Chain A
Amino acid sequence: MARVFKDGAGASYDVSTNKFNTVPFGQVLVNPADPKQGTAANAGFFEFYNFGATAAGGGIATSFPWLTGVTGPEAFKAMADNSVAGIMRDCAECHVGGGMHEYAYNNMPTAAYDPSQRTPLRSFDFTGLTTAYNYFIDIFNPDPARRGDAVEQKYSETGVLEMDCLMCHLKDYDWEGRKHAVRQGEFDASRAVGAKLVNGVKNGTTVFYNYTAVKTNAAGELVVDLSANLNSKPESGNCASCHLSQYNVDWKKRGEQWLPGSDVHESLGCMACHERSDKAAPTVGTEGTINNKLGLCDPAKGGSSAFDAMWNKLDTVNFKQCSSCHEPSATPTYATYGAPNSVLAHANAGLTAKIAFNKAGAPASHMEIIDCTACHIKKTFDGGAFVDGTGADEEGRVALHDEPQVARDMTNGNALYWDNGKLYAANLLTSFFVRDMNGMDPANNGLDANNDGRTAGMDALLQTHVNDLNNANGRHAVTHAQNGDGSWVNESEVGAMMNMLKGDGTGANGIKKLLGITDPNNDKKLLPKISFLMVPFKASHNIAPAETFAWGKGGCVDCHGTDKGFYNGAYPIRGNMDGQDANGNFLLRWKSNQVSTFTKVNGLNDVTDSHPNVVTKKGDRTVPVPMLTKFDNPYTADASAVANQTLRNIDRSEVIYEQTFQTRDTTWHSTITGAAPLAACSSPKSPFYCATPVSSLNPGVTGEDFKAAATSTKGWLLKIEVRPLNDADPSKITFRTAQLGNDKAGSMADVFAALPASFKANGDFTITQAGGALTITADATKQIRISPQSDSAPYGLLGKVYVADPIKRAGVADMKTRSEYVAYLDGVSTSMADYGIGIDPKAAINAIVDDNATQLGTQWSKGIAHAVTAPLAQPNAGQTADIGSVAYLWSTSDETAVISDATSRTAATVTFGSTGSKSVTLRVTDEEGKVKTASVAVTVIEPPVAIEWNQATDVATFSNLPVGTTAVRVYWGDGQVLTKTSGVTDPLSLAHSYSTATGKIIQIYCYNASGKQLGYMQKTILP
């Protein structure tokens, strides 16, 4: 959107702390091109950005000198795409009004947002100002030639879009009529139009009421009777107008539509699920600031996805999840509409047994790692496949999304993605747009291709600019129509578009003219490429009746197997533009030098054409999904460009598993030494700036080294985490950050030189460079590691951030790659019995040792560790392992007992510290949660008298004599007896010679001073 405010922009850089600080409202960067210069106070808080400040020395002219002296509207046209005013005419066809549709927020008393300080747009004085609030690009002008005009929106003429309650609360509200009024800028009138109270509109603030529906009272005042049609709870038809129908909100945003007959819950209405669950005693937010309280008229908002950021604190607040009605954990206090309980059905399908694994690698059920929608959505109609940003739709909106060719049949259109370790259903919607690959600084002929103040970062062209050029040249979005050769998009079509955008490069035409740039020698090269961004938008509706469809309804075989289409199988990325002609040419195609990958992720290393928030199961890495069959890099000569390139119909597994499994290495170091990246110009894999990329690798090819602008090194981020030596408290972790400001770093020496001195030597670490590699050495009292936020690859530090993370499963070799793991999932047994499902575990305790066989029962000596083991609870055929998964847990009746390896079936020990009757219990829990227990009773005694016989010395040693023993009598088993009434020690060693070598029973009786027997033991020995 066009810039709204002058202040509160960007982040400053504190050289002393090596930290970026957000510039708050009320402050501005001293020099936006150099964050190190810090901030200065702005004249006020939330000051409108005035596109009219083009006088020399003015705001626009300082940052965009090529716009010096142009009018405000001209500057707006050169810099802005959509705006607040534009949103009101475009997107607000579905917005209920209020917010920025009604109020201006300008020159506030503090930096803190305060809704009470807003000014109504109607009365705001925009005199002399050209702002995002009062100007828009007139993309819907009936005259296509005028669709690039910057037009003023005067709220005294148009009125404003108040929050229109009737849009939700009036039965049969006329959404179409309101849309038409909004499109014309008839904002005040739109309310009366939508309420069907008018016969016509005179202007934005005046209407011709239908005087049958609108009466006149005795005082001449106009009155209406809405009693028959008002609903305190919105009907589904009101929600449907914006959310449900083809090409509307959910189609635009997620490629989704829901049609009558497609959702089993349809008859219950939208509010069955979206009515807040605390309705009986609601907590209503009215503050207007971001908190977790639903407003009075907020439907409860469904679960957050990684691609949605608006008011996330309200996600799932008082929202009914599927389980809220179908598997409530407590008696619901809200309506559940007779929802059948699904617990048994899921259990019977094996989905509640812990035979899968969660993101931590612990056993989990399918229900715990897969969302309901992933299995229960079924569509038999179309949905959005593409949003084509290379031109407008029929109506004038600057992206084409509402034609069949950019749609797909959604029968096979569900995919999956991970969010916090759980799989969700998704529509894969791909947007594409044109970007400029010239990332050089202005001083090095960089081009700010969208006048956003930044030359680097692959600027996306303003779609209003692309649209303007299309209209002037009789062109359309590339997918607008089929070409003569039957293709929807082909190489020559894309090439013609690129030539149109580039013009002659001097600014007389093309994009540069619209940007206001004059470049007589075409020094600032526009390097346009089409990029594709696939986003897996969460699918939540179109729930099929369980009796007709559900993944897993037919058993494990529904999903587990080659190309079943749940976690695997080809996904129709190309949608309705799929296919090839008789010559093998794709119907959706281009040359390899006309497109470029969207970005690189995981340390600026892995190419991807999907959103960086598509993450792994663990969530610590992005899953890169490259979709382009081929794209050229700056080192490729145009003559080597390959035609007939397209997007792959990827496999579904590519969205949820990366090619080679890795995870973040969280090891702390005292020293980190990176690797030396490839030298500049040596290879496309070198990250460094190369002045002659094409000719370096293509001797003889001249005239294409302007592509060097795409090898800019500007902006590489390096963030280092620091902690006190061996301190595991995460709150003690601090950070130091630096961002490379050099766009022409041709070597690591250049990179090193460009890093701030304070970043290279400070109290936390020092950095040195040698042989092209960086070495970071922590202070003696600290430890360091590289933050995953870093662009670690170009710094040669990638190997210090990520490590291999193969998936380990019992009975199979570690799986390092997606193909290995998918093959494993495809090949797992589909018999539930093989997982122990339906089998009841058995708890038993193997025989335990008896420390005193002379006594009835089992005695254990106090203070001695005793082993306890159990047989397999669910043994397989070979008795080698449990079927399924079984958890073993040992416990005792004595809380003070010490149990080691309490969860081990074979290695646990129990030590009692006191005497008396005790029990030892084994609890086994299988994958289905079935529990069995077994117990044994023991009597814990003082350790009994022990008898050891040394054959070599003919000495018997008696130990553990009962306390108080003063006399003993020993029967040697050969008829001889020894009585000792003094000098009795513990241990007590007594010699005795046997005349024969046959086994003898030695018996010892222990007495106290009174002659009372205290103890007895016997043992059979061999003399």
Chain B
Amino acid sequence: MQQNRRKLVKAAVVSSAVLMGLAAGSALAAPGDHSNIVLKDFAGTAIKKNTDGSATAYSVKTTCFGAAGCHGGAGASGNAVYSYDDIERHSYHTQLGSNEFKGFNPANPDAYNPYTDTGDKWRPGAGPQGKNWVQSAGHFGSW
């Protein structure tokens, strides 16, 4: 019999107000104009309401990026010059091992030379040994 129900402490989110206090830069408006953002679908087409009131879920990639004056678009400045691809490809929060995939059964005791620090240090290590299913050093491929 279950003695205690698992409870997700939502306090962390609810009470994030406590954390916001002096969280640097938090209350400042983003430098660009985000007051009139046209929602677009994955194809880049502006979204319109269907007759039943539904509408296509918006795409971050086309809504926020690419158009002139927007992120990664012509006329962008500062950090806004970076495109969706620039950011998505090079972020450990997005890649989570996708960009360092090793393949199935990756263990190799001879993959690394400790005396010259050459080769792949991960392959002879404890992570992949005896675990064929561990296919990368990150989340994708490990679980």
Contacts and interface: CB of A to CB of B under 8 A. Distances in A.
13 contacts: A11-B111, A162-B59, A176-B10, A205-B57, A241-B13, A241-B16, A248-B8, A261-B18, A269-B26, A272-B24, A309-B137, A611-B126, A731-B115
Contacts of B2: 394, 480-481
Nearest to A488: B3
A259 B101 CA distance: 35
Contacts of A205: 56-57
A296 B80 CA distance: 10
Contact of B24 (A8, A208, A228, A269): A269
Contacts of B6: 247, 393-395, 402-403
A186 B60 CA distance: 15
Sorted from nearest, which 10 A-B pairs have the closest CB atoms?
Answer: A237-B16, A288-B89, A269-B23, A98-B94, A8-B103, A245-B12, A295-B90, A309-B137, A457-B130, A236-B19
B51 interface: no
Contact of A221 (B48, B91, B139): B48
Contact of A22 (B4, B12, B106, B115): B106
A277 to B, nearest CB: 14
B1 interface: yes
Contacts of A611: 126
A81 B138 CA distance: 17
Interface in A121-143: 122
Given A95-B96, A221-B46, A730-B115, A237 B17 contact: yes
B13 A237 contact: yes
A240 B109 CA distance: 40
Interface in B98-118: 98-111, 113, 115-116
A166 B60 contact: yes
A717 B130 CA distance: 12
A937 interface: no
A4 B141 contact: yes
Contact of A285 (B9, B12, B90, B115): B90
A3 B12 CA distance: 36
B143 A225 contact: no
A206 B39 CA distance: 13
Given A99-B88, A188-B57, A237-B20, A230 B132 contact: no
Contacts of A84: 140
A259 B115 CA distance: 44
Contact of B126 (A82, A97, A289, A613): A613
A953 interface: no
A338 B16 CA distance: 23
A558 interface: no
Interface of B: 1-13, 15-26, 28-31, 33-39, 42, 46-50, 53-61, 64, 79, 82, 84-111, 113, 115-116, 120, 122-127, 130-135, 137-143
A235 B42 contact: no
Given A245-B10, A309-B137, A293 B90 contact: yes
Contacts of B12: 240-241, 244-246, 248, 259-260
B88 A301 contact: no
A485 to B, nearest CB: 13
Contacts of A49: 104
B56 to A, nearest CB: 6
Contact of B87 (A10, A216, A266, A297): A297
B132 A453 contact: yes
B26 A233 contact: yes
B13 A222 contact: no
Given A232-B25, A310-B137, A733-B115, A245 B46 contact: no
A429 interface: no
A526 interface: no
A324 interface: no
Given A115-B89, A207-B57, A231 B25 contact: yes
B19 A240 contact: yes
A930 interface: no
B90 A287 contact: yes
A97 to B, nearest CB: 7
B1 A482 contact: yes
Contacts of B5: 394
Given A237-B13, A260-B18, A735-B110, A191 B104 contact: no
A222 B49 contact: yes
A945 interface: no
A103 B125 CA distance: 29
A880 B7 CA distance: 65
Interface SS of chain A? loop
A11 B102 CA distance: 11
Interface string A741-756: 0000000000000000
B88 A163 contact: yes
A231 B140 contact: no
B14 to A, nearest CB: 9
B111 to A, nearest CB: 6
A245 B105 contact: no
Contact of B124 (A208, A236, A789): A789
A640 interface: no
A502 to B, nearest CB: 22
Given A23-B103, A197-B58, A298-B91, 14 more contacts: A163-B88, A165-B60, A221-B47, A222-B46, A222-B48, A232-B31, A235-B23, A235-B26, A295-B92, A296-B79, A301-B92, A309-B137, A309-B138, A719-B110
B108 A22 contact: yes
Contacts of A259: 9, 11-12
Nearest to B64: A165
Contacts of A287: 89-90
A96 B110 contact: no
A1008 B58 CA distance: 109
A268 interface: yes
Nearest to B92: A311
A212 interface: no
Interface string A566-593: 0000000000000000000000000000
A214 interface: yes
A756 B99 CA distance: 37
A97 B99 CA distance: 14
A668 B33 CA distance: 69
B34 A240 contact: no
A270 B115 CA distance: 39
Interface in A216-267: 216-217, 219-228, 230-233, 235-238, 240-241, 244-248, 257, 259-261, 266-267
A1012 interface: no
A464 B35 CA distance: 47
Contacts of B127: 309
A394 B4 CA distance: 11
B49 A191 contact: no
A342 B19 CA distance: 25
B104 A9 contact: yes
Contacts of A116: 85
A764 interface: no
Contacts of B110: 11, 19-21, 719, 735, 737
A315 to B, nearest CB: 10
B99 A113 contact: yes
B37 A224 contact: yes
Contacts of A189: 57
Contacts of B48: 216, 220-222
Given A220-B48, A237-B16, A311 B138 contact: yes
A337 B82 CA distance: 29
A163 B108 CA distance: 34
A556 B40 CA distance: 64
Interface string A132-167: 000000000000000000000000000110111110
A770 interface: no
A206 B57 CA distance: 5
A1004 to B, nearest CB: 65
A320 B89 CA distance: 24
Contact of A296 (B7, B25, B82, B103): B82
Contacts of A98: 88, 91, 94-95
A241 B49 CA distance: 31
